[in-house]
Chains A and B, each alone.
Chain A
Amino acid sequence: MADSVLVIGGGIAGIQASLDLASRGMNVYLVDENPSIGGRMAQLDKTFPTMDCSICILAPKMIECSRHPNIKLLTYSEVQEVKGSAGNFEVKILKKPRYVDEEKCTGCGTCAQSCPVEVPNEFDMNIGIRKAIHIPFLQAVPLKYLIDEENCLKCRLCERVCGAKAVNFDQKPETINLNVGSIIIASGFELFDSTKKSEYGYGRYRDVLTSMEFERMLSASGPTGGNLVRLADGKVPNTIVFIQCIGSRSSKDLPYCSSVCCMYATKEAILIKEHHPESEVYIFYIDLRAFGKGFQEFINRARDEYKIKYIEGHPSRIVEDPKTKNLQVHYEDVVEGDIKNIVADLVVLCPALIPRKGNEKLSKIMNVQLDELGFFKAKDSLLNPIDTNIPGIFICGYCQSPKDIPDSVAQASGAAARAAETIIQATQRGKR
């Protein structure tokens, strides 16, 4: 129906836009290429500066999306084609086969218990394992299993044990045609590849982690059950070093600031101290960016109450001791002007958050412009930050420019308003 809206991306921005539109009586198709909605926020342990449990505040919204009579969830699906114009877009969606019937699956998990294949779990940033038949995470919406075709042995054990007879190896990709009045893009972000900064040894040293990996480690439902351990030897790390601006604010890599890293590193540092108050935590930064509401107060607490040590500067390299697996972090003390090092048990890199690779494909399908970095380009970044060059297609969240959760939520509601305006005005034109 032309009074419907297509929302691309089921992270917090896409969820908020969908719920706003559905709550006012408009129909929404929420498309996510992943098997569950939830996006990046579902992977986080806590959120700054309130220390809310991320999934606990997100899950009710995810469930509301799945239960809302006006929202149709299309997970594990991709936009293939978009034609038409504001008020009347023809959209083709490709729904990939889960090899599990969504109608029949109850999410009981018996199938995964019987599955003999164990592979790294991408939701846990490949630290933990999952089965070939799996759900991405416990609170997944929809709570429907899927078989990862690449790793499945076709042993069909899952098919035998499934009481609901939901496993279906004959499932085929499905093309779904939609007619919508407006489109909202909320495709989010991905992480800069930290192996490019070879001086820090990411990929070579087991206990040099990215912040997203570390976030999963902190999470009670993560691969270590929320226990802080070194992957090299299972010991509890005592000295932990964070390094900001991995690939960001750099003339060589990415020129911009990712806007959230100083804050989430501070949050992760506080969480370490809450796990193990005796640990030593250092955060290396270029400029400490705490520009949001309550952020500077949060940093002050981290520094004064939790005794987190902020060091200005960018370490030059990390060297692992092959025996102890300890990590020597070399840096210049800009206050004293000396070259120094800290022996860390674990190092967390805070990589630049970058536009998703899929943006290019979406941009071609919809003729929507990207900026030179690959973010979706607003019609006017100052006065029109939600509109794109194509009338009726709007953008919100990190895919437009770096921003945190509340800014994404507010902008997502803004995109919902613009989509609603488009549809209401198209309907009025139709009536005349």
Chain B
Amino acid sequence: MATPKKEIPRVGVFVCHCGINIGGVVKVSEVVEFAKTIPDVAYAEANLYTCSSEGISKIKEAIKKYNLNRVVVASCTPRTHEPLFRNACEEAGLNKYLFEMANIRDQCSWAHMHEPEKATTKAKDLVKMAVAKARLLEPQDEPEIDVTPSALVIGGGISGMTAALSMANQGFNVNIVEREPELGGMLAKLHMLCPNFEDASKALSSIVDAVKSNQKINVLTSSEVEDVKGFIGNFDVTVKKDDKPLKLNQGTIVVATGAENFEPINMYGYKSNENVLTQMQLEKLLKTGDLRKPDKVVMIQCVGAREEKGRQYCSRICCGVAIKNALIIKDLYPETELFIIFRDLQTYGQEYEACYTEAREKGVHFIKYTSSNPPEVSSNSEGKLTIKTYDAFLKEMVELESDLVVLSTPLIPQKDAEKLSKILKVPLGSDGFFFEAHVKLRPIDFATDGIFVCGSAHSPKDISESISQALGVASRAAIPMANKHVRADAITSIINEDLCSGCGTCVRICPYGAIQKNEIGIAQVTSVVCKGCGTCAASCPEKAITMRHFTDDQITAQALAALEG
């Protein structure tokens, strides 16, 4: 970046009444008069609402009329209003980073509404601080990055295929990387689907056909992602296919790697008795038609889930799966007695609850146990199984004999989720599933731009929820690809190479993987990856890192202005 030529600051200050929000407490006219006395302030005025269209045009007029080169608005919060005022500056021909905001509402009039005198004094201080920083502001650029209109989808299950199809239908090229020889993921192993008993093979073949016949989708089976470099718009991806490396340039990446089933080794006689199965093994028997008629089947819920310590989470789908499989067995063998031993039945929403009602009506027995009294399974020499469990309704121990015990085990993170999280530099949560940018409002984005997550890679979910998320990702990833470019943040860190000792602290500490050492061991920032968090600047022992727009000089000037009194 060229060194900006030094100019004499001419700061314009706009103090907002915010109706009665500020004006009802702070003496706005006093603040304006005070602002006029601050060095380098060329103009100051009060507005009833600086953010109204009238207020915005006044800023623009004043910039031109008084030849202002810095603007300070003293009003509400930059969280909501900074973009508006920055745009006003830009529209008047001023670089939008030559703007500074003083929050005299949330941090002043609201906080001190019963002390108007002191609030007015504080408002003046806040304005003085903002001006002190504004005088030292420099113009900044937001570099534009081209985006390759092509997406990499990691995982060829229902989530990955759904996301790929939607993106292809929106006109983007998609590469699906699937490590198995065939597409399908978990769906390929299922018999009928929750909660409406659709045939999994039929559902699978229709989407696999659609994916394979789509010209925009390239399917890479028996393949794994080996390495990813670069950033949004330009990810350099190395895929290993049949032991050969394959290079791809991708604009966005979708993680749809799914989950695996927990194997309940040493629990309830699993593995030591062949009649103790997991739901997944039962699913296989049902799919192949190999389930011989049992007289009695006992299903146990929360096997390895909702633990006090360890795997605390609820796997969401297991109650629905157990009820579905119980109903299928009831259909096949109406005389078979079925028991589901559960803790809290997670049949949320409409359809699962309806299945639960149907199961009770069809005579499936539900026994509630408590975590302090888990069931015990034992077998005699002929392999006959005995289940002892506490029945929380009868408030006593009950004993059941059964031909078959089916364990409902949770979905757990893929074994190599951690490896992939390191390749992509995206986080995992404490439960081991991929961790989204914001639990509430950015459930399928990662904090890293251009990378997204859907399906059970994010947390256990059923087919319908996975499809919803996959389509969601197809929208999120399409945004940069449809725009063909993104604007990178202007507020990034700069390394002073003369001061850098190459200690590598910043490289280790950067949460976005934006800093690497160059060939001579000096730190280098990839600006488009940098989010401007400032962690590196704060931790650099040599003070070799400067944050644009938050330089030491600017912040010191602000602090000194506050202390001047």
Partner of A291, one of B170, B314, B454: B314
Q: Which stretch from A27-35, A59-67, A153-161, A200-208 is at the chain B interface?
A: A59-67
- Chain A, Cβ-Cβ closest to B305: A296
- Chain A, Cβ-Cβ closest to B395: A337
B166 CB-CB contact with A under 8 Å: yes
Q: A410 to B349, Cβ gap below 8 A?
A: no
Partner of B471, one of A61, A386, A401: A386
B245 CB-CB contact with A under 8 Å: no
Chain B residues lying within 8 Å of A381, measured Cβ to Cβ, are: 195-196, 351, 464
Taken residue by residue from 448 to 490, chain B's Cβ proximity to chain A (1 for < 8 Å, 0 otherwise) reads as 0000001000110001110111111111101100110000000
Chain A residues lying within 8 Å of B352, measured Cβ to Cβ, are: 257
B392 CB-CB contact with A under 8 Å: yes
Chain A residues lying within 8 Å of B526, measured Cβ to Cβ, are: none
B316 CB-CB contact with A under 8 Å: yes
Cα-based distance from A420 to B169 in the complex (angstroms) = 9
Q: A407 to B468, Cβ gap below 8 A?
A: yes
Taken residue by residue from 428 to 443, chain B's Cβ proximity to chain A (1 for < 8 Å, 0 otherwise) reads as 0101010000111111
Interface residues in chain A, defined as those with a beta carbon under 8 Å from any beta carbon in chain B: 12, 16, 20-21, 23-25, 47, 49-50, 52, 57-61, 63, 67, 106-110, 113, 163, 249, 255-257, 259, 287-297, 300, 312, 334-335, 337, 371, 373, 375, 380-386, 401-403, 405-407, 409-418, 420-421, 424-425
Minimal beta-carbon separation of A399 from chain B (angstroms): 13
Chain B residues lying within 8 Å of A60, measured Cβ to Cβ, are: 79-80
Chain A residues lying within 8 Å of B198, measured Cβ to Cβ, are: 380, 382-383
B313 CB-CB contact with A under 8 Å: yes
Minimal beta-carbon separation of A27 from chain B (angstroms): 13
CB-based closest 9 A-B pairs: A414-B471, A108-B19, A413-B472, A417-B475, A406-B443, A293-B459, A24-B482, A256-B350, A410-B472
B306 CB-CB contact with A under 8 Å: yes
Cα-based distance from A136 to B450 in the complex (angstroms) = 37
- Chain B, Cβ-Cβ closest to A290: B314
Chain B residues lying within 8 Å of A425, measured Cβ to Cβ, are: 169
Cα-based distance from A386 to B463 in the complex (angstroms) = 13
Q: B344 to A288, Cβ gap below 8 A?
A: yes
Contacts A334-B392, A414-B468, A424-B170: A67 and B83 contacting too (C-beta < 8 A)? Answer: yes
Q: A413 to B348, Cβ gap below 8 A?
A: no
Minimal beta-carbon separation of A138 from chain B (angstroms): 9
Chain B residues lying within 8 Å of A386, measured Cβ to Cβ, are: 467-468, 471
Chain A residues lying within 8 Å of B67, measured Cβ to Cβ, are: none
Q: A287 to B469, Cβ gap below 8 A?
A: no
Cα-based distance from A347 to B392 in the complex (angstroms) = 26
Chain A residues lying within 8 Å of B314, measured Cβ to Cβ, are: 290-291, 295-296
Q: A413 to B444, Cβ gap below 8 A?
A: yes
Chain A residues lying within 8 Å of B464, measured Cβ to Cβ, are: 381-383, 385
Cα-based distance from A377 to B474 in the complex (angstroms) = 22
25 residue pairs A–B, Cβ–Cβ below 8 Å: A57-B440, A57-B441, A60-B79, A106-B19, A113-B20, A255-B353, A256-B349, A257-B350, A291-B346, A292-B316, A293-B431, A294-B313, A297-B312, A334-B392, A334-B395, A337-B395, A375-B350, A383-B464, A386-B467, A403-B349, A407-B468, A410-B468, A413-B472, A418-B471, A420-B482
Partner of B313, one of A163, A297, A415: A297
Most chain B beta-carbon neighbours within 10 Å: one of A249, A371, A403, A409: A409
Question: Given A110-B19, A256-B350, A409-B442, 8 other A-B contacts at CB below 8 A?
Answer: A20-B479, A23-B479, A59-B80, A110-B20, A295-B313, A295-B314, A406-B439, A411-B469
Q: A296 to B306, Cβ gap below 8 A?
A: yes
Cα-based distance from A230 to B280 in the complex (angstroms) = 52
